[in-house]
Amino acid sequence: MRSEGPRLVSRRRAGIRMAALALGGLAAIRGVGRAGTIPGTMLVEEDWALTIGTPDPVNHAPGVKMIMSTQGDLLGYSADYSINFHKEGNPATFAVGGFGIEICSPDGSQPVSVSYPGGTLLNTVGEAITWTQRLKLKGGSLTFSLQNGQSTTWGSNPGEMLSVSANCSIADLSAYDPNFSAARSGPVWWPDRVTSLVLSAVRYYDKSGKLLFSDPTDRVAYP
């Protein structure tokens, strides 16, 4: 895939450490800037809406990469959602079409990847895609999952679509930052084929599944 400037998010491979990102001017959540002020967070959900302009199946365009981290950088545990491409095989290699998810650990172990069956390419002008992505911490395991996907290409998928887990040593998800998700997610291949990408809501839950806080702020990831 060719580079498209600063929106190209290069994923960590085993042993790579990415430099911390300095994020300024974070949007406030009830007067504060980070979810670290919401103690006891064990599950975070993000609602996303992606609108495709004119896709190009010949060049498997566009390609969109979503990033969700347990903290406001990529130095800790993080997860990816790849749209219109995915990884498959062992070792995992790039494949066009479809979608897949991946979870990375800071201990340098190989990322764990799973993909949705089939590799159907985006091919509908103006297609609207919505979904919820979730980070859940329970019993020393971090799980990243896709929920309730709606699209023309891949249809309606109520409930859980994909999930991947890894051992995790952190105590909670209070360092999660939705502004980081919005800043680091976006098209990485032919961005002019994407009309918009918006994080429309974020929800925080405790270990029992009780809703701690719901944030309806629209965060524009692209353009």
Each residue's pLDDT tens digit, 63-100 = 999 999 999 999 999 999 999 999 887 777 889 999 99
Q: Per residue in 154-191, pLDDT tens?
A: 999 999 999 999 999 999 999 999 999 999 999 999 99
How much is the average pLDDT of 118-132? 96
At 24, is the pLDDT very low, low, confident or very high (cuts 50, 70, 90)?
Answer: very low
At 37, is the pLDDT very low, low, confident or very high (cuts 50, 70, 90)?
Answer: low
Q: Per residue in 134-148, pLDDT tens?
A: 999 999 999 999 999
108 pLDDT higher than 90 = no
At 150, is the pLDDT very low, low, confident or very high (cuts 50, 70, 90)?
Answer: very high
Q: What pLDDT is attached to residue 64? A: 98
- How much is the pTM? 0.82
HEC profile of the chain: CCCCHHHCCCCCCCCCCCCCCCCCCCCCECCECCHHHCCCCCEEEEEEEEEECCCEHHHCECEEEEEEECCCCCCCCEEEEEEEEEEECCCCEEEEEEEEEEEECCCCCCCEEEECCCCCCCCCCCCEEEEEEEEEEECCEEEEEEEEEEECCCEEEEEEEEEEEEECCCCCCCCCCHHHHHHHCEEEECHHHEEEEEEEEEEEECCCCCEEEEECCCEEEEC
